Amino acid sequence: MTQNSELDLLDCFVCQSNEFEQIDLNQNLLDASDFHDSQHKPSGYSYFLATCKKCGHSAIHTDNPCLLPTRKYDFIKYGEPTEYYPKISTILRSLKLNSGDISIHCFSNKDFQLANFLATDLGISDLKLNDYAGCSDDWLPVTSSDGSKRSPIPLDQFITELQNSKKSHQIILITRFFDHVANHDLLQKILDLSSPTRHFVFDLNDYDRLFDLETVEFVWNERRNLLRHSDIESILKRTNLKYSIFAYESQEVSPTLTGVISERLHVSPNHSLPSNLPVSHLVKKLIMLRQRWQDNLVKTHKLGIIGASHKGVSLAQFVLSDHVQYSLHDDKEALRGKTPPVNPPLGFHLVSGFDFSEYTHIAVTTTLVIAAKIIPKLRASGYTGEILDFDCRRLD
C-alpha cells in the first residue's frame, strides 16, 4: 500500500483546491456492499483517502465513475436514525405552510420512514415514496448517441416528479445524500432545485465528532464525502441558501447532523466560519491502525472477522496486510450464497455454529450492542483467543 498516486483527484468539494494529503486505500477494490452472485465478475477500482491541505475537508477519491455510490444491490438495507424526527417537524412547522398545499418527496428508500412521520405529524396527504437513489449502477455516467453527456435517468425522474407536483410547496428529503455524492455537477443540480417553495431536509454523519474519536471505522469506499458542519455551511453559503443545522447523539447509529434548507427560514448564514478548522488526521490514523494490526498478527495467526457490513469489509480491504489469513462471517439471510466484495483466504461463513477454536484472533466489527451479545457466546463455546474491535482493541 502506497501513499503516492497517479489518480487524477477531484477538486475539493468545499474550497475547490486540488492539493491533498492522501493515502492509498488499495487497488482493484469493489464497492463495500458488492455481495454478488458467484458467476458475476465485477470490476474493481483504485481508492484513496484524501484530505484537502487548504480547508481540511476529507473525501474518498477513486477512478470509479459512479456519481452517487449508494448501495450495490436492492437486498442491501441499512438502518437510519429516527430520534431527530420531532425536531425536523418543529422546524418545518415554523415555516408556516398550509399542510393541505404541501407534497412530500423522497430521494431514497432511506427517506420513507421520515416521510411517513412528517405526513402524519404535519397532516400532509400528498406523499410520494419513490427510491430514486436506487443502486450505485443507476448512477453511472450516461452518454447520448451523439456522444454528449446527459443526466442519469433517476435524476431526470426525480426532477420531473418535483416539477409535476400540484401543490404550492414541496418538502424534499435527501437523507445521506451529502455523504455519498461523488460528483460536483450532481451536487449542484440537487442544490439548484431549492426555491422559495421547495424545502430540503437532509442528514449526514457528524464528522466533527467522529474525527475526535481514535478510529477510522466510519471510512468506507462508498461514503465519498466526510463533510464537517463547517464544510456543509461553506457549500450552502456558496449557493446563498438559508439553512438550519443541528447535531444530535443517536442511540441507533453514529453521531449525526441534520438540517433544513429553506428560503422561509428566519435564520441567515451571516456568521463567519472559523479560521482554524479542525483537522481530521485521518491519514495518520490509518497508518497507525495498519501498523497496530500488523504488529498484532503474524503469518501463523488466523483472524475471524465477525460482521460483513461496511466495517468488516473495510477492515479487510484497506487495513489488514496482504499476508493475514482471515475469514469473514455474517448470519444475515440476504448474504447467504453471495460472494463478498473481498476474497477471504479462509472463506465466507456464518457466525452461528462455526468452530473458531483454530483461530488466534476474532475481530467483532458489529455495533457494541450486538457485540455484547456475540462475545459471551464465543466465550461460552470455549474460545480463548483475543477478541478485538475494528481498531485492534480488546473487547473483553
- The owner of cell 448564514 is 269
Report the percentage of the chain scoring pLDDT > 90.
81
The rounded mean pLDDT for the chain is 91
Pair (240, 93) in one structural domain = yes
> Quick one: CA dihedral 379, 367, 109, 127, positive or negative?
positive
User: Does 146 reside within a domain?
Assistant: yes
What are the tens digits of pLDDT across the range 378-393? 999 999 999 999 999 9
User: Does 191 reside within a domain?
Assistant: yes
Contacts of 387 (CB under 8 A, 6+ apart): 361, 362, 363, 364, 375, 378, 394, 395, 396
Q: Is the pLDDT assigned to residue 75 strictly greater than 50?
A: yes
Q: From CA 111, how far away is CA 200, in angstroms rounded?
A: 12
Q: Identify the domain boundary among 199, 234, 261.
A: 261
Q: From CA 356, how far away is CA 303, in angstroms rounded?
A: 9
pLDDT computed for residue 4 by the predictor: 40
Give 88-121 as a 3 state SS string: HHHHHHCCCCCHHHEEEEECCHHHHHHHHHHHHH
Classify residue 303 by burial, with Cβ atoms within 10 Å: 0-12, 13-18, 19+.
Answer: buried
Q: From CA 280, how far away is CA 206, in angstroms rounded?
A: 12
Pair (344, 196) in one structural domain = no
Pair (192, 301) in one structural domain = no
Pair (90, 168) in one structural domain = yes
Q: Is the pLDDT assigned to residue 125 strictly greater than 50?
A: yes
User: Does 286 reside within a domain?
Assistant: no
Q: Where residue 146 falls among pLDDT bands split at 50, 70, 90?
A: confident
Contacts of 178 (CB under 8 A, 6+ apart): 202, 204, 225, 227, 232
Q: Is the pLDDT assigned to residue 2 strictly greater than 80?
A: no
Higher pLDDT, 220 or 280: 220
What's the domain range around 368?
Answer: 297-388
Pair (252, 107) in one structural domain = yes
Q: Where residue 1 falls among pLDDT bands split at 50, 70, 90?
A: very low
User: Does 189 reside within a domain?
Assistant: yes
Q: Is the pLDDT assigned to residue 278 strictly greater than 70?
A: no
Query: Mean pLDDT throughout 9-36?
Result: 93
Q: Are 392 and 293 in contact (CB under 8 A)?
A: yes
- The owner of cell 450492542 is 369
User: Does 69 reside within a domain?
Assistant: no
Pair (305, 256) in one structural domain = no
Q: From CA 30, how far away is CA 87, in angstroms rounded?
A: 37
- DSSP for 195-239 reads BTTEEEEEEEE-HHHHHTSS--TT--TT--EE--HHHHHHHHHHT
User: Does 32 reside within a domain?
Assistant: no
Classify residue 100 by burial, with Cβ atoms within 10 Å: 0-12, 13-18, 19+.
Answer: exposed
Pair (102, 248) in one structural domain = yes
Q: Where residue 339 falls among pLDDT bands split at 50, 70, 90?
A: very high
What are the tens digits of pLDDT across the range 251-271? 666 788 999 999 999 865 554
CA distance to 147, 297, 326, 359, per residue, from 300 (Å)? 54, 8, 11, 10
Which amino acid, 4? N
pLDDT computed for residue 267 by the predictor: 66
Pair (100, 244) in one structural domain = yes
pLDDT computed for residue 39 by the predictor: 87
pLDDT computed for residue 207 by the predictor: 93
Beta bridge partners of 204: 257
Q: From CA 91, how far away is CA 201, in angstroms rounded?
A: 10
Pair (257, 302) in one structural domain = no
Q: Are 105 and 161 in contact (CB under 8 A)?
A: yes
Pair (231, 133) in one structural domain = yes
Please state, as a whole number, how many other Cβ atoms lie within 10 Å of the Cβ of residue 259: 24
Q: Where residue 144 falls among pLDDT bands split at 50, 70, 90?
A: confident
Q: Where residue 3 falls among pLDDT bands split at 50, 70, 90?
A: very low
What are the tens digits of pLDDT across the range 155-184? 999 999 999 999 999 999 999 999 999 999
Instruction: Output the domain CATH number for residue 175.
Output: 3.40.50.150
Considering only CA atoms, give the Rg of the chain: 22
Which amino acid, 87? K
Q: Is the pLDDT assigned to residue 277 strictly greater than 60?
A: no
Q: Identify the domain boundary among 246, 261, 276.
A: 261
What are the tens digits of pLDDT across the range 84-116? 899 999 999 999 999 999 999 999 999 999 999
User: Does 238 reside within a domain?
Assistant: yes
What are the tens digits of pLDDT across the range 45-62? 999 999 999 999 999 999
What are the tens digits of pLDDT across the range 282-293? 999 999 999 999
Instruction: Output the domain CATH number for residue 314.
Output: 3.40.50.720
Q: What is the pTM of this model?
A: 0.91
Our count of domains for the chain comes to 2
Map residue 282 onto helix, strand or coil. Answer: helix
Pair (212, 302) in one structural domain = no
Please state, as a whole number, how many other Cβ atoms lie within 10 Å of the Cβ of residue 335: 18
Q: From CA 7, how far away is CA 46, in angstroms rounded?
A: 8
Q: From CA 206, how far away is CA 104, in angstroms rounded?
A: 25
What are the tens digits of pLDDT across the range 348-359? 999 999 999 999
User: Does 42 reside within a domain?
Assistant: no
Pair (115, 251) in one structural domain = yes
pLDDT computed for residue 5 by the predictor: 44
C-alpha cell at 341: 466484495
